[in-house]
């Protein structure tokens, strides 16, 4: 079932290692086949070294396992919540990349302070609120999705393809698994740059004209970046 999507998702998970975004078994990637309403995701706690497409797990949009002999990623309910809430996304990534996670642990929105950020994210990357006792003791991973979705009220997830989950770590998404990984790489780089910038100038800010220019030249109606 969904053989090519399984290969794509397996490769995207291995790409997290290649880009230095994960160590051990931290992090996960999934992708969705919207027509079938099925999500392919990494199995939980399986080493990246030697990971195979046939180990990927298929779940439906209720989070029920449809195919796979291994348990799906523990973060699967968060991924499923995002696919249900954001109908245009095709891939989701979660990492514990150092700088992105540092901002998430600090509980601070990742400010937009340069064109590198604006090339991919049209605004500050938001950080979620504290999770309540009921949310943490209840269906924790699903509720992680709930706090992300709540934080995106009034924001466009297609223009800001990522979030910092407070005291936890980043999630990103994109049109497919590869794109979602790309956005995770960018999030980590801009988190690092913003951290260094804050050390150099705590008052740093962004020229809003550049934000609009850079986001639109890559993603706007009249995008002209590239070939």
Ligand X SMILES: O=C(CO)[C@@H](O)[C@@H](O)COP(=O)(O)O
Packing angle of the helix pair 177-200, 3-18 (nearest 10 deg): 20
Note whether 143 binds ligand X by CB under 6 A: no
Which residues between 94 and 123 bind ligand X (CB under 6 A)? 94
Which residues are part of the catalytic machinery? 119, 225
Residue 215: CB minimum distance to ligand X, A = 29
Note whether 42 binds ligand X by CB under 6 A: yes
Note whether 75 binds ligand X by CB under 6 A: yes
Residue 177: name the closest of 24, 28, 17 by CA.
28
Q: Kindly report each contact of residues 218-226 with a partner whose C-beta sits within 8 Å and lies 24 or more positions away, as own/partner.
A: 218/119, 218/120, 219/122, 219/159
Note whether 84 binds ligand X by CB under 6 A: no
H or E element: which one contains 32? strand 28-33
- Sole window of 25-33, 49-57, 113-121, 199-207 interacting with ligand X (rule: CB under 6 A): 25-33
Residue 217: CB minimum distance to ligand X, A = 34
Note whether 73 binds ligand X by CB under 6 A: yes
Nearer Cβ to ligand X, position 6 or 117? Answer: 6
CB atoms within 10 A of CB 164: 28
Q: How many CA atoms lie within 13 A of 110 on its CB side?
A: 34
Summarize as ranges the residues that interact with ligand X (CB under 6 A). Answer: 25-28, 42, 44-45, 73-75, 94
């Amino acid at each position: 079932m969904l053989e090519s999507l399984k290969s794509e998702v397996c490769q995207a998970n291995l790409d997290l290692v290649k880009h230095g975004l994960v160590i051990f078994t931290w992090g996960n990637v999934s992708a969705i086949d919207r027509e079938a309403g099925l999500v392919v995701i990494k199995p939980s706690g399986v080493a990246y070294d030697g990971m195979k497409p046939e180990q990927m797990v298929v779940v439906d949009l209720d989070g029920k396992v449809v195919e796979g002999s291994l348990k799906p990623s523990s973060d699967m309910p968060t991924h499923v919540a995002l696919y249900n809430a954001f109908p245009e996304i095709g891939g989701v990534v979660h990492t514990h990349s150092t700088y992105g996670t540092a901002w998430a642990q600090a509980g601070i929105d990742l400010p937009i302070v340069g064109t590198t950020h604006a090339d991919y994210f049209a605004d500050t990357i938001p950080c979620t609120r504290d999770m309540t006792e009921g949310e943490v003791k209840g269906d924790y991973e699903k509720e992680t999705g709930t706090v992300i979705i709540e934080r995106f009220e009034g924001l466009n997830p297609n223009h800001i393809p990522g979030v910092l989950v407070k005291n936890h770590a980043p999630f990103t998404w994109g049109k497919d698994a590869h794109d979602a990984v790309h956005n995770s790489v960018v999030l980590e780089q801009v988190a690092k740059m913003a951290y260094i910038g804050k050390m150099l100038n705590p008052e740093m800010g962004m020229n809003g004209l550049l934000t609009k220019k850079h986001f639109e030249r890559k993603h706007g109606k009249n995008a002209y970046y590239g070939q």
